[in-house]
Amino acid sequence: MLTTYGSTNRLPGRVGRPSVEPSLTGQDTAGTPVLFFDDFRSGQINRAKWNVRTTGTVVNNEQQAYIDSRETVYVAREGSDADNNVLVLHARHRPGYTTSDGRSFDFISGRIDTRERFQFTYGSVSARMKLPAGPGLWPAFWMMGAGTWPETGEIDVMENVGQSDWVSCAVHGQGYSGEDGLVNKLFFPVGIDATDWHVYGVAWAPDRLTFTVDGATVYRVTRPMVDFFGSWAFDNEKFLILNLALGGVYPFKTNGIHSPYPGIAEETVAGIMNDEAKVMVDWVQVVGSGPVLAGATPALEVPS
């Protein structure tokens, strides 16, 4: 079977419109509940849906400070269509930036999540995204449980560390977390890469998680696979996260770069200084698996 990446979910009208949209009843055309949808058409971050996060505990030896600023998290027009706005997470070079608790960073970036605004259990999650290239850039689309980590689980729908020929997906829980997580990579065919627009998704069911890129399955994690290593951590509510990290463990263990920053190449620093390090998100959607989805707290904005 021939799989074509980068060509799905493009319908007449607004570029990148998902093939499953909420109606006035909050359902798609098949009657499945659309629990969450944001295409950023309002031109600004909807803070009823999203929290814009600032740096607290630093993990993974990451080199950026997350800040709540239009420098790093904003909505912009993409292309010629006046109705086609995208979320932008933008890394910037700000040597000596000092956080409120006195820590110093040379980079700032953006991170948003739906914690306590939208949390759910089971359903199909997807986002249409365009990633930057550069060794050490670490964009991610993922979900976490609201309790302790890793006991309440983590689902990484998409991660990338600046190597544009592949993306990865993973799950983490007790007994299979951090460097021992269950992970898989998709290597794109020649002529297509992560800097193109792609739809990254996961179908989350009680006994499995099926990860997709542009609708094609790239990894399936089943309960028996997880039970072999530890406890299944995917029966509880999760919230959505989008972020652009810089450097740290995952990039470093992939590229082995020590300087100028752990996991970040010289050319990547130059790209950040030239304002090229941007993740763009066209839309984010969560579709339920039936008429009633246990644990879901809808945050639906129906497009006009």
pLDDT one-digit tens code per residue, 45-80: 999 999 999 987 788 999 999 999 999 999 999 876
Please tell me the least confidently modeled range out of 42-46, 79-83, 151-155, 292-296. 292-296
DSSP output for 57-68: S--TT--EEE--
Domain ranges within the chain, ordered by starting residue: 34-300
Over 50: is that where the pLDDT of 207 sits? yes
pLDDT value at position 17?
53
pLDDT value at position 13?
33
Distances (CA, A) of 281 to 43, 64, 77, 188, 200: 13, 20, 11, 20, 11
**DSSP code, position 231:** -
Gap between the Cα atoms of 179 and 113, Å rounded: 23
Query: CATH classification of 34-300, choosing from 3.50.50.60, 2.60.120.200, 2.40.128.120, 2.40.50.140?
Result: 2.60.120.200
pLDDT value at position 58?
82
**Cβ neighbours for 191, distance < 8 A, ≥ 6 positions apart:** none
Residue 85, SS3? strand
Full-prediction pTM beyond 0.75?
A: yes
Mean of the per-residue pLDDT values of the chain: 88
**Cβ neighbours for 179, distance < 8 A, ≥ 6 positions apart:** 249, 253
The stretches of the chain forming alpha helices (DSSP H) are 223-227, 249-255, 266-273
DSSP output for 132-159: --STTEEEEEEEEESSSTTTT-EEEEEE
**Cβ neighbours for 260, distance < 8 A, ≥ 6 positions apart:** 266, 269
The residue among 165, 251, 259 whose CA lies nearest residue 213 is 165
